[in-house]
Every structure is written in structure tokens, then in C-alpha cells.
Amino acid sequence: MNCQRVQESFLDHQDGTLPADESAALRAHLASCPTCQREWAALQEITRKLDALPVPAPSPRLREQFYAMLDTHERQATHSGNPFAFARSRLDRFFEALLPHRPSLQFAFSLALLAGGILVGARVLAPEPATVAVPVVDPSSKEEIAALHRRMDQMGQLVADSLLVHKSTNDRLQSVLATMDVANPDRKLLADLVSALAFDPSVNVRLSALEALAPHTKVDVVRAGLLTALPRETAPLVQVGMIELLAAAGEREATPILDKISRDTTANQNVREAARRALAVLRAPLSPPTDNQNASNKPAQPILT
């Protein structure tokens, strides 16, 4: 055994892992070699010192921080405010145990799932087009569908008309006021005005319609409209306007209605008085037509000014 070999075996010799025969040869060499003796002594000293180095101890802070970290992790995992977290982790573990871990098996499993999905999809979704085709074949169903189509068209028309009719109050008022500028309105326009007078929900629109109709009381549509609208009217202002207009027009057919209003105790006092005045006018002998014409313009004036 030469010196280099001996010195290389020092560590194993020190650890006691050197085979017995080599260990004996080493000791024999050491006994006769001063250089290796010095090396061995120096190694012994340094390892002894190294082993004597005190083991540094951590402060309690380390343990505290570790358990705080563990607590935080546990809280986040199970009590993070999500009641499903625990169940989910259990579920994850269940599927982890159930599903394959090897990539090749995972791939095969995915392929099997895909094939199964296609198979099920083909079976479940295929009959659907056949059921859709049935009503096309059946003639009675065909008629039914045609009828439904017609009804749908009608409803569409109705909705369109409603949209036209139900403009904003301001728009309706503008429409009515616009008719005042027309010198000789046709029956359609007058009929529209009468409709506004009878059915418009806004008092302002009805008053404007009444004013627009005032010059045209000679037209039968207007008078008939006034007679129809008067019993429906609820606003005293419009009622008084209508009564005065009918009286001015000398519409004797209004007498029963006016009579009824004049006796109606629930009616507005002004309306009843107006009805009584109109009855007096209508029951009176015929007035000159010029006065009627002048008077016909009068009632609308105080209403609108």
C-alpha cells in the first residue's frame, strides 16, 4: 500500500467501512510511515473539530411560522368559506384513485370516452329530424300551420297599428292641432278627430280635438261623434265644452242625454248647469242660423284660453 492509496482510504477507515484486510494493511503502513501519520493526525484533528461544532438551534419563531403556514393552508383548503371545498377535495381524491395514472392509459381512456360520446350522440340525436318531418306530411297539420301563419300576420298588423296609434301625448296633440289648419277636412280626418275626442286618454288631446271639431258641427259625423262621446266623457271641462257645442249646433237628439246629465246628482255642478242651459236653448224656438254659427265658436274659446 503506497501513501496516496493509504490517504485516499483514510475516510473509509475513519468511518469503519474499509474491509478488514485493507484496514489491517493501512494500519501496518501507518505504523511505519511518518508522513501518513502526520496526515492521519491532521485529518483526525480537523474532523474532530468539525464534529465538535455545536449544532445551531433555530429560534421558536421557525416553529411558530411553520404551524401558522400549515394552519393557513388547512383553512384555505377546507374552511375557505366554500362549503364545497372539502367535498371537492374528496371528490378529486376519488377520481384520482379511479382514473388511470399512466399517460398511455389516459390516452386510451380519452379515446374510449370520445368514441362512446360519438356513439351515444349518433343514437340519441339521429331520430330528431324524423319527428320534425311529420307535420309536413300531415295535410291537416299543414292547414293548421297555414292558419297559424295568417293569425301571426294579423297580429303583426295589429301590433303595427297599435304602435302607430299609441304615439306619445305630445305627438297626438301635435296631430290634432295640425288638423285645425286644414280648411276643408275630409270625413276621414273628422272621424279621426271624433275618435280622439271619444277615446284619447289625455284631456288636453280631447280638448284640442273638441276645438278642432267646433267649426264642423254641421257635418253629421261630428254631431254623431259628440253624442257618442258625451256620455263617456269624465272630465267636466270637456263635458261642458261638448254640451255647449251641441247646444250651439242645435242638436236636438242630445236632449235625452242632456236631460239625464242635468238630473244626475253625482255629476259636476258646472256640467249640470251647462246641461240645463243647453236644454233651455234646445227646447227654445229655433234661433237664427247666424247666431248658431257665432255661438258654435264661442264654447271652445273660453275652454282653450
Partner 1 sequence: MLSIAPEIRVSPPVAAPNVVAMAEELPTDHELMIAVRAGDIPRLGDLFERYHQRLFAFFVRLTSQPSTSEDLVQLVFYRILKYRHTYRDEGKFTAWIYHLARKVAADHWRKQSNTPIATDPTELPEVVDTAPDSAEQTAGREDLALLRVALAQLPVEQREVLVLSRLQQVEHRDIAQLLETTPGAVKVRVHRALKELREVYFKLRRERAA
Give the footprint of partner 1 on this chain (CB under 8 A): 7-8, 10-16, 27, 30, 42-59, 61-63, 65-67, 69-70, 73-74, 77, 89, 93
* 62 vs 99, beta carbon nearer partner 1: 62
Smallest gap, in angstroms, from Cβ of residue 89 to partner 1? 6
* 10 vs 278, beta carbon nearer partner 1: 10
* Cα–Cα distance, 174 to 193 (Å, whole number): 12
Q: How many CA atoms lie within 13 A of 240 on its CB side?
A: 18
Smallest gap, in angstroms, from Cβ of residue 119 to partner 1? 34
* 63 vs 167, beta carbon nearer partner 1: 63
* 20 vs 124, beta carbon nearer partner 1: 20
Q: How many CA atoms lie within 13 A of 13 on its CB side?
A: 19
Smallest gap, in angstroms, from Cβ of residue 102 to partner 1? 13
Helix-, strand-, coil-residue percentages of the chain, each rounded to 5: 80, 0, 20
Smallest gap, in angstroms, from Cβ of residue 17 to partner 1? 9
Q: How far is CA 195 from CA 21, 118, 160, 172, 214, in A?
A: 129, 65, 18, 12, 15
* 48 vs 188, beta carbon nearer partner 1: 48
Smallest gap, in angstroms, from Cβ of residue 42 to partner 1? 6
CA diameter of the chain? 167
* Cα–Cα distance, 46 to 56 (Å, whole number): 19
Q: Which residues contact 227 (CB under 8 A, 6 or more apart)?
A: 246, 251, 253, 254, 257
